[in-house]
């Protein structure tokens, strides 16, 4: 077997392997949509955390200490919700894989 024919055979094996595995690349947008549809509670928790943080900082800046303190506590609750949603999503994904 010549070197050229061995190289061609390796290329054909690679093409055959790709066809068998159905290797499909997804764009970042497609991956984001897929991940959000798998567990929509995580982005909701992230948005709630960000909103509470921003409003709490705004309240602190304007001098409304009571609202700032309330929003910082709300932020902690939203972070906890996000972490719980993440753990549940990982657990469901692991059980689904088995």
pLDDT tens per residue across span 19-34: 666 666 888 999 889 8
* Between 37 and 18, the higher pLDDT residue: 37
Task: Choose among 90, 55, 89: nearest CA to 75.
Answer: 55
Instruction: Check if the beta carbon of residue 59 is closer than 8 Å to that of residue 68.
Output: yes
Q: Give mean pLDDT, residues 28-53.
A: 92
Tally of CB atoms within 10 A around 70: 15
Tally of CB atoms within 10 A around 78: 21
Mapping DSSP onto H, E and C, the string for 22-68 reads CCCCCCHHHHHHHHHHHCCHHHHHHHHHHHHHHHHHHHHHHCCHHHH
pLDDT exceeds cutoff 90 at 51: yes
At 48 the pLDDT is 96
pLDDT tens per residue across span 77-90: 999 999 999 999 88
């Amino acid at each position: 077997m010549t070197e050229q024919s061995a190289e061609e055979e390796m290329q054909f094996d690679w093409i055959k392997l790709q066809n068998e595995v159905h290797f499909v690349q997804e764009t970042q947008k497609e991956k984001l949509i897929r991940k959000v549809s798998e567990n929509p509670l995580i982005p909701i928790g992230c948005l709630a955390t960000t909103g509470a943080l921003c409003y709490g900082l705004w309240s602190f800046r304007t001098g409304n200490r009571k609202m700032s303190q309330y929003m910082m506590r709300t932020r902690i609750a939203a972070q906890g919700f996000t972490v719980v949603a993440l753990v549940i999503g990982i657990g469901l994904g692991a059980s689904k894989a088995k």
